[in-house]
Amino acid sequence: MNNTTTTTSCQPFPAEPHRCTVILNIRHAMASISLISCIFCLFIIWVFRKYENFAQRLIAWLTIAALFDSIAYVMGDLQDSVTPFCRAQAFFLSYFDWASLLWVCCITFNLYWNVIHFKATKSFEIVYHIICWVIPLIVASIPFAKSDGYGPAGLWCWITNKYTVMRFLLWYVPVWIAAVGLAIVYIYIRWKLKQQVGSWEGTYTPENQRMKELLREDISDLKYYPLVYLIISLFPTINRIQNAVTPGESYVYPLLILHTLFSPLQGFLNAIVFTFDKDTRSRLALHQLWAALRSRFSERHSVKPYSVGSSAPPANERSLLHESAASSVSPVSSGDDTGT
């Protein structure tokens, strides 16, 4: 890493350039951890063909967005002037931050539609792509309306301190509304699922029992994605509020450190949530990974790389179970909620 470049362009602390060196090293380290975590998740999704499950495919797209977000954090050193490279980094950060957030929203909506309405949602995939790739493009392009909308923003290039209102309207307000809203939706889904499971009592079938287990697992795993956004947004929000209320280019070093530690960690924390999945954890043994990898490059594609002893169903079976439930089990109506 080029420390000379770092110390000669230290906008936050021009008299103490070593602080910028520390910040830059932390940023690169955290972003690199997230980048490696995203690559690991995509490898697992690919090698075990988890993308055959629609929900896992959505997680793969979320991981791709987080991967490019990590690359944007890794890019370059601290900047002290508005350059094309600086504006490009700022745009990529805005774009892929938004893409990641919207993929989490779509995953939540998808789970809501499956659990509450028991509707098949594969036909929504193209709509999800439009939402998650086009809306970020629109939002991330707004700061270009100002010649200095994107530029050095303390830790990296983003919306400059001059446009505090734009910062909060284009990111911090939406991300907190989304995170709190997603948490509420997961609470509602969990409550509704308990009612639906109760309605299945007395009508036991192996398929219904398996569906209960799968839905519980999905909610148990996916409910942590809003928590990821709350974690990675807390200190950045506090830091940007401090930037807004303090006149001039005044920065608090501990806040900058915390901001730098958490902002690039989205890919890493998403990977932790990803490995919470029982099906994923059951396949991480080296012998299973090796067998799956060999099967990916084997001409005998009919041999599936799933462990016979795995307690969770393979991704393709899991997808079929969800689709079967969506077509055969009707949702609990509001009139039945209080019935016996």
User: What's the pLDDT at 212?
Assistant: 61
Q: Which two tokens stand for residue 293?
A: 């990898």
Dihedral, CA of residue 7, residue 8, residue 14 and residue 17, to nearest 10: 10
User: What's the pLDDT at 2?
Assistant: 44
CA dihedral sign of residues 101, 103, 109, 114: negative
Strands (E), 105-212: 150-152, 157-159
Backbone angles phi, psi at 158, to 5 degrees: -160, -155
pTM of the model: 0.79
User: What's the pLDDT at 143?
Assistant: 96
Tell whether domain 3-327 is in CATH 1.20.1070.10: yes
Domains of the chain: which residue ranges? 3-327
Residues 156 and 206 sit within 8 Å (Cβ to Cβ): no
Residues 161 and 249 sit within 8 Å (Cβ to Cβ): yes
Q: Which two tokens stand for residue 213?
A: 């287990």
CA nearest 234: which of 154, 160, 175? 175
pLDDT (tens, 9 = 90+) of the chain, 340 residues, equals 444 333 446 777 777 888 888 988 999 999 999 999 999 999 999 999 889 888 889 999 999 999 999 999 998 777 777 889 999 999 999 999 999 999 999 998 988 887 787 777 888 999 999 999 999 999 999 999 998 999 988 778 999 888 989 999 999 999 999 988 988 988 888 888 777 666 655 555 666 566 666 666 666 667 787 788 888 988 999 988 888 888 666 788 899 899 999 999 999 999 998 888 777 888 888 888 888 888 888 855 454 444 444 444 555 545 544 554 444 444 444 444 434 3
